[in-house]
A and B are shown apart, each in its own frame.
Chain A
Amino acid sequence: MAEEEKKEKKGFFRRLWSGLSKTRNSIVSGLENVFTSSSKIDEDFYEELEEILIMGDLGVSATDEILEKLRTEVKEQHIKEPAQCRDILIRGIREQMTVDEHAYDFEEHPSVVLVIGVNGVGKTTSIGKLAGIYQQRGKKVLIAAADTFRAAAVDQLKIWADRAGVDLITGAEGADPASVVFDALQAAKARHTDILLVDTAGRLHNKKNLMQELAKIDRVITREYPDCIRENLVVLDGTTGQNALSQAREFAGVTNLTGIILTKMDGTAKGGIAIAVQSELKIPVKFIGIGEQIDDLQRFEPDAFVDALFDVTPQEAEEESTAEESKEETSPAKEAPKEEESQTTESGETPSSEEKPKNWWDDIDDTPIFREHGDYY
């Protein structure tokens, strides 16, 4: 199991690695530098570490917490070598990022997944991807288009829903989003839907009235469908800096946040904010968008994520790349298709994608509207 698990993780991890390579380089090369160039563990050493972590968008308090742990362990274990600190540091962060084993229980029960976040973080796109994933897994999925504000938001969602073969409940532009949700809840109950995905309008978290609107939607769900499993996911843009903390905090104030979808993790320097959010708010990252292809919304793998940030030297990754490259090929846009076998080897624990050798999106023809670019929002 351990062997297999490792392999599987590396598959995912390889992709993360390529997505995060630049962060990795900036953080890790910085870290390596500190670990190798510092001759002793002193204040300068800690200060350098602090700077590097902050630079990775980890934020001041997450950084402090991590370094505090490090200091304690260094003291307790009488560590003298800066290089030894590396493992401790990685372990510390990994512990923070653990996802509870029941985190995905909602997928197996009748549930309502409310997706919220500020403007332009990728809510609609994430919903579209989730709808496809669950539909493919044989779930009965329904989407509520409760973004009645942004121009053409419903049209955008409609395209996703059609693609995934999922029903969509809509209201008029400018309608009360809670009323759309109300309708969708009735429909979900009547049709015995497994998962109802609720797309909401982007709203800045400091807009009181818009947050109240969200609270209302939340209340409507609780009142109209008390038996369902609630899943409230906030979508955070991986390129966002410290403001993501404020966003998560405020959204947690109006609904009981059960998880985070971290999007746009395929650019350059990012990823740190995930650590900051989990460290400060104890809200687990459950899904991560690491690419522009449709299959790039995945369950969050803390180990793989942290490994990608710290663990592996580019060399190791090179080695894997031969085996793992394949996974990226599911999108026909890039390299030649030669992968089916590796996909099977990777199959293992994450039911979301690895369970099946064939992925649901394989059947979808690759029209430009769907492919790699611009499917955020």
Chain B
Amino acid sequence: MAFESLSEKLSRVFRKLSGKGKLSEEDVKSALKEVKIALLEADVNFKVVKQFIASIQERAVGEEVMNGLNPAQQVIKIVNEEMIKLMGPEGAELSFQPGKAITVIMMVGLQGSGKTTTASKLAGKLLKKGKRPLLAALDVYRPGAIKQLQVNGEKVGVPVFTLEGSKEPVKIAEAALAHAEQYHNDVLFLDTAGRLQIDEDMMQELEDIKKAVTVHQTLLVVDAMTGQEAVNVAQTFNDRIGVDGVILSKMDGDTRGGAALSVKAVTGKPILYVGMGEKLSDLEQFYPDRMASRILGMGDVLTLIDKVQENMDEEDEKANAEMSAKIKKGKFDFNDYLESMKQMRKMGGMGSVLKMMPNLGLSADEIESAVDEKKMARMEAIVLSMTPAERANPKLLTPQRKYRIAKGSGNDIADVNRFIKQFKQMQEMVKKMPGMMGKRRHGNPFGMMGMGKRGNGNPFAGGRGGFPF
């Protein structure tokens, strides 16, 4: 058991306290202690955490506990709001020089943070918006760096400027600017070499570049997985070079990404984009609210909903609406189960979906062990071995039919029985709580099937958490 989720911890803390009208200092303190650890586990810098917690404490003590919330939730609500505020604003954009003037954008960061890839992604994005970007290769140190930019530039259709044989980034920058003027490019990206913020010579080089050409935007690329170090990096780059915006790379990993909060807190500069994958199109807008819940380990519900929408074509949409209606009435059958499995797969599989859900009370490890994709495939095989009539009406399933299904799907009869039992339990549960279902359009309870650990008849393993949607 590596990490308990924050909501789990908090509910433990507050188990003893209930029905209080106002948050007492004690309440807040004990809750914030857990919040603090959650933030530290997410790699938010210690000093940032300390400062942040202090400001929350001030705000939270004495606050009314809202109707329908318990003190723990109230504290989380406040923490969440403050984090969003701190990481905002949402939708910050690069600013460009007016008219046809060239906007010079310099990419800086540590080695391996993803500058070259990000520069290409950003240039490709601007190209689509009707700009005429030019990429300039200033990394004369890393073997293959220039070639990498050339290849990436070609992929996104953006020209790449290089100065054959030159080892002087300053000269390359000047030449690139001249080239951009000549060829009427309106955005020039300077892709600099990765460097440590404590490397005096290399930092000086950036200053020299800035002196030689007018840089309008200096973008710091930060690996989202960075630990406590993020603060030092951001602060030094900002103090010495001046940072205008931040791009978080490698956000498609499973990192909680506390570095985002650290960097924003020490530089005060907006986070413009997040890198979400290796494809050159994978550069997305930054949403402070999603980042906040991710750092807090509360799941990334909004991203999930987005993902659902993205993956749902119209037909699915219709099918889903029908399903929601069925769910509301407490009526659903094995056809719906199949359908829901299909959708689940579109979103990248059960495990990845569950990990994005908040308040499930399951750690990533538990999800990993609970979600057995193979087992789910077997269950699907069971359903596929049913006749259409059986799928629509589970009551038809007599022992003979079950025996046939077991044979047809390559399962044990016991497996088939267990699966059908689970399914019925699910039906019962859903009937009992119609209010919970269909509250959100894309509610889908079936995904929970198959999560029970071996031999555990209850699909809601241990009865923890609640319905995710």
Q: Give the interface of A toward B (CB within 8 A).
A: 22, 51, 54-57, 59-61, 118-122, 149-153, 155-160, 204-208, 237, 239-246, 264, 266-270, 272-273, 280, 292, 368-371, 373-377
Contact = CB atoms under 8 A, between A and B. Distances in A.
A205 B254 contact: yes
Contact of B254 (A150, A153, A206): A206
Most chain A C-beta atoms within 10 Å of own C-beta, residue among B144, B194, B223:
B144
B91 interface: no
A17 to B, nearest CB: 14
Given A51-B46, A239-B227, A267-B229, A377 B254 contact: no
Contacts of A273: 227
A204 B142 contact: no
B349 interface: yes
A122 B194 CA distance: 12
User: Which secondary structure dominates chain B's binding surface?
Assistant: loop
B111 A266 contact: no
B40 A369 contact: no
15 contacts: A119-B114, A120-B111, A151-B151, A153-B148, A204-B254, A242-B256, A269-B232, A272-B227, A273-B227, A292-B199, A371-B141, A373-B142, A373-B195, A376-B111, A377-B112
Given A243-B255, A267-B110, A376 B40 contact: no
Contact of B258 (A51, A60, A157, A241): A241
B110 A57 contact: no
B151 A266 contact: no
Given A151-B150, A376-B194, A377-B111, 19 more contacts: A57-B227, A150-B148, A152-B145, A155-B144, A155-B148, A240-B223, A240-B227, A241-B226, A241-B227, A244-B225, A266-B196, A268-B198, A268-B229, A269-B227, A269-B232, A368-B140, A369-B143, A374-B193, A376-B142
Interface string B194-236: 1111110110000000000000000000010111111011000
* List of 4 A-B pairs having minimum Cβ-Cβ separation, nearest first: A241-B227, A156-B144, A120-B112, A374-B141
Contacts of A150: 148
A57 B228 contact: yes
Given A150-B148, A368-B140, A243 B225 contact: yes
B225 A159 contact: no
A28 B228 CA distance: 16
Interface string B135-170: 000011111111110111001000000000001000
Interface residues of B, number: 58
A195 B258 CA distance: 40
Given A151-B147, A243-B253, A120 B227 contact: no
Interface in B284-308: none
Contact of B143 (A122, A156, A245): A156
B143 A160 contact: yes
A294 to B, nearest CB: 12
Nearest to B236: A268
B144 A152 contact: yes
Contact of A376 (B3, B112, B228): B112
A376 B253 CA distance: 20
Given A267-B229, A374-B193, A368 B141 contact: yes
Contacts of A292: 196, 199
Contacts of B233: 239, 267
Nearest to B222: A239
Interface in B241-260: 250, 252-256, 258-259
Given A156-B144, A264-B111, A373 B167 contact: no
Given A151-B147, A243-B225, A122 B40 contact: no
A204 B232 contact: no
B307 to A, nearest CB: 15
Contacts of A205: 253-254
Interface in B339-379: 349, 352, 364
Contact of B198 (A54, A55, A206, A267): A267
Contact of A237 (B42, B112, B228): B112
Contacts of A159: 143-144
B199 A373 contact: yes
Nearest to B348: A208
Contacts of B194: 374, 376-377
Nearest to B2: A61
Given A243-B225, A268-B229, A374-B194, A206 B253 contact: yes
B250 A118 contact: yes
A59 B258 CA distance: 13
A155 B228 contact: no
A242 B143 contact: no
A8 B26 CA distance: 54
Contacts of B228: 55-57, 241, 269-270, 272
Contacts of A376: 111-112, 142, 194
A152 B120 CA distance: 14
Contacts of B223: 120, 237, 239-240
A246 B196 CA distance: 25
B147 A239 contact: no
B41 interface: yes
B152 to A, nearest CB: 5
Contacts of A56: 228
Contact of B278 (A119, A160, A245): A119
Contacts of B150: 151-152
A239 B229 contact: yes
Most chain A C-beta atoms within 10 Å of own C-beta, residue among B140, B197, B229:
B229
Interface string B1-42: 011000000000000000000000000000000000100111
A326 to B, nearest CB: 21
B282 to A, nearest CB: 12
B457 to A, nearest CB: 29
Given A60-B3, A119-B112, A268 B232 contact: yes
Contacts of A237: 112, 223, 225
B234 to A, nearest CB: 12
Contacts of A370: 143
B229 A118 contact: no
A208 B347 CA distance: 13
Interface string B392-430: 000000000000000000000000000000000000000
Contacts of B155: 151
B113 interface: yes
A377 B142 contact: yes
Nearest to A160: B143
Contacts of A57: 43, 227-229
A272 B197 CA distance: 19
B41 A60 contact: yes
Contacts of B151: 151-152
Nearest to B139: A374
Interface in B28-78: 37, 40-43, 46
A369 B165 CA distance: 11
Nearest to A154: B144
Nearest to B36: A51
A220 B424 CA distance: 45
B254 A119 contact: no
